[in-house]
Amino acid sequence: MSAHDLDVILLVGSGVLILAVLAVRLSVGVGLPSLLMYLGLGVLIGYDGAGVQFADANLALMLGLSALILILAEGGLTTNWSQMRPSLGLGVLLATVGTSLSVIIVAAGAHWIFGLEWELAVLIAAVLSPTDAAAVFSVLRSVPLKSRVSGVLEAESGLNDAPIVVLVTAISVGEIGHYGATGFFALVVYELVIGALLGLLVGAGGAKLLRRAALPAAGLYPLVVFAMTVLAYALAATIHASGFAAVYVAAVVLGNTELPHRSATRSFVEGIGWLAQIGLFVMLGLLVHPSDIQAWHIGAGVGIGALLTFVARPASVAACTAWFRVGWREQLFISWAGLRGAVPIVLATIPLANGVSHSIDLFNTTFVAVVVYTIIQAGPLGRLARWCGVETDRGREVEIDAAPLERVSADLLQIRVPPTSRLAGVEVGELRLPRGASVTMVVRDDSTFVPHRTSRILVGDDLLIVTTRDLREQVERRLRSVARHGRLAGWDQDPRTRRSD
């Protein structure tokens, strides 16, 4: 590659990135998921559009898996563990048992209804069954859902890639017959359990390291956090465990630990997540040749997608929720919100890269199914959430960021007061922070002032609070309690002895 070639790549790449970012605004206006805009952009500049040729399935697979690692890391780092924890059991069940049931139902239908050979039928069932983390994280977070519903969907999409990758890879390389049913089940359990344990260890170790380290620049904290999640993936993959489970669990642990410069880290990882989604979908759009898509691909994609969306997915959700108290309307929404996106298309590149017979038909059929049913499912999600009663009006109660003050073993907390927080209207003295912590400054509009005890907190204020490190968790609990319950929260307790609110 010459310097001129590099210049051309940078010119085209930066232009595509700018167009893709602007497409977010357009997608909101027309009501389409932005991921379809990225996919369409890739098609427009690809072989049948502007003529950019990209047909390397192996390179596409490697880049696709790399992007999924970053997307899962971003999803885990921005997941609220307290909201997901009550729904974790159902999410894990859907990611394993539910996905398996969907594969069985769709594979049987693809073979007996559409006449596919068993190998191709199982492959297309496997690549289409897992929900897509990128689609779930980007689309569902624009719909304010009750925590038990969003927790289920996020846990499922973060964990269901692992067993499917094992299945698709084993079939594509011809090793599925070596395992047998029992051996394959044991392999999946091993990969998930060991991967999750490694993610937990790396996440906990990374959090402990970052809380003790005083890095010289705030911008280094997001880099280290992201590197920790990738490290979890690499360690798990090295010992043939699930790297996807490892990266997601490590990200959840790190994202729910009170680390320095947490808001900066969150903004950074969201930007990386967007960049990974844009690059992934544009690349997959380049890989697709619309002129090669035949009527058979369209018919099979629509038909098999319908079997998955209207039969297999509701059946698997009903079977898994039978163990939990989930109403039928909530079941309906969870079934409908099982969005497909990049994951099925990336998984379809595995048999393509391994030269499986009819793998190009599998890829084209998967592409059609993803595009059609993403449009069908994503459009009415907001209205369906309201009808099913799973929408909520509650936003973020309080946002807390922290920066270390090493010389005095203290922390500087920055608290943003959103419109939904009951901190608004509370006087500074009514916060009743423990001794050793104080509100030192209030940022309001474009000005700052040192508050008095009777100064009233308003929506949009930024409070700067200095607290000794041993009191930091107690101060944060107190602030979150007032944000939820108002000035009378814990009124009959002494802040110096309060353990929780």
Written in H, E and C, the secondary structure of 207-233 is HHHHHHCCCCCCCHHHHHHHHHHHHHH
> What tokens were used for 227?
């590197």
> What tokens were used for 263?
């808001």
pLDDT of 102 higher than 90: yes
Burial of 30 (0-12, 13-18, 19+ CB in 10 A): exposed
pLDDT of 32 higher than 70: no
How much is the pLDDT for 499?
Answer: 42
In the predicted model, what is the mean pLDDT of residues 246-251?
A: 92
pLDDT of 393 higher than 60: no
Going by pLDDT thresholds of 50, 70 and 90, the confidence category of residue 291 is confident
The one-letter amino acid code at 453 reads R
Fold of 399-485: Alpha-Beta Plaits (3.30.70)
* Distance between CA atoms of residues 123 and 129, nearest Å: 10
Considering only residues 342 and 172, tell me which one the structure prediction assigns the higher pLDDT.
172
Instruction: Give SS3 for 411.
Output: strand
> Hey, how many other C-beta atoms are within 10 angstroms of the C-beta on 41?
20
pLDDT of 314 higher than 50: yes
* Distance between CA atoms of residues 149 and 96, nearest Å: 18
> Hey, how many other C-beta atoms are within 10 angstroms of the C-beta on 255?
25
**Strand-pair partners of 400:** 415
Give the start-to-end residue ranges of the domains of the chain: 41-388, 399-485
Phi, psi for residue 365 in degrees, rounded to 5: -65, -40
CB 329 within 8 A of CB 389: yes
Q: In what order do the strands lie in the sheet with 462-468?
A: 399-405, 410-416, 462-468, 437-444, 447-449
Burial of 458 (0-12, 13-18, 19+ CB in 10 A): middle
CB 84 within 8 A of CB 314: no
In the predicted model, what is the mean pLDDT of residues 220-242?
A: 90
- Of 121-130, 387-396, 402-411, which has the strongest mean pLDDT? 121-130
From the list 130, 150, 152, 151, the residue with the least C-alpha distance to 140 is: 150
pLDDT of 201 higher than 90: yes
How much is the pLDDT for 496?
Answer: 46
Pick from 1-5, 58-62, 273-277, 327-331: least confident: 1-5
Tens digit of each residue's pLDDT (9 = 90 or more) over 250-283: 999 998 887 777 777 777 888 888 888 888 888 8
Pick from 66-80, 151-165, 257-271: least confident: 257-271
From the list 98, 104, 141, 138, the residue with the least C-alpha distance to 121 is: 104
CB 368 within 8 A of CB 375: no
pLDDT of 355 higher than 70: yes
How much is the pLDDT for 273?
Answer: 81
Going by pLDDT thresholds of 50, 70 and 90, the confidence category of residue 300 is very high
CB 41 within 8 A of CB 32: no
> What tokens were used for 347?
């998984």
* Distance between CA atoms of residues 124 and 190, nearest Å: 24
How much is the pLDDT for 501?
Answer: 40
From the list 90, 84, 86, the residue with the least C-alpha distance to 154 is: 84
How much is the pLDDT for 211?
Answer: 76
Burial of 494 (0-12, 13-18, 19+ CB in 10 A): exposed
Tens digit of each residue's pLDDT (9 = 90 or more) over 332-346: 999 998 888 778 888
In the predicted model, what is the mean pLDDT of residues 396-425?
A: 73
CB 95 within 8 A of CB 160: yes
From the list 192, 156, 245, 350, the residue with the least C-alpha distance to 184 is: 192
Average pLDDT, the chain: 83
In the predicted model, what is the mean pLDDT of residues 124-147?
A: 77
Going by pLDDT thresholds of 50, 70 and 90, the confidence category of residue 497 is very low
CB 194 within 8 A of CB 242: yes
How much is the pLDDT for 302?
Answer: 94
Instruction: Give SS3 for 449.
Output: strand
How much is the pLDDT for 82?
Answer: 78
**CATH architecture entry for 41-388:** Up-down Bundle (1.20)
How much is the pLDDT for 395?
Answer: 46
- Of 57-66, 191-200, 283-292, 474-483, which has the strongest mean pLDDT? 191-200
Pairing of strands 399-405, 410-416: antiparallel
Residues 6+ apart with CB under 8 A from 354: 172, 173
> What tokens were used for 273?
């997540």
Tens digit of each residue's pLDDT (9 = 90 or more) over 185-198: 888 888 889 999 99
pLDDT of 55 higher than 90: no
* Distance between CA atoms of residues 370 and 372, nearest Å: 6
Count of all residues that appear for the chain in the document = 501
Going by pLDDT thresholds of 50, 70 and 90, the confidence category of residue 47 is confident
pLDDT of 396 higher than 60: no
- Of 314-323, 353-362, 469-478, which has the strongest mean pLDDT? 314-323
> What tokens were used for 94?
């859907």
How much is the pLDDT for 43?
Answer: 83
How much is the pLDDT for 112?
Answer: 93
Considering only residues 110 and 398, tell me which one the structure prediction assigns the higher pLDDT.
110
pLDDT of 440 higher than 70: yes
Three-state SS sequence of 248-302: HHHHHHHHCCCCCCHHHHHHHHHHHHHHHHHHHHHHHHHHCCHHHCCHHHHHHHH
How much is the pLDDT for 140?
Answer: 62
Considering only residues 497 and 117, tell me which one the structure prediction assigns the higher pLDDT.
117
Which residue's entry shows tokens 């108290």?
Answer: 325
Pick from 176-190, 225-239, 299-313: least confident: 176-190
Going by pLDDT thresholds of 50, 70 and 90, the confidence category of residue 469 is confident
From the list 276, 292, 304, 290, the residue with the least C-alpha distance to 128 is: 304
Going by pLDDT thresholds of 50, 70 and 90, the confidence category of residue 221 is confident
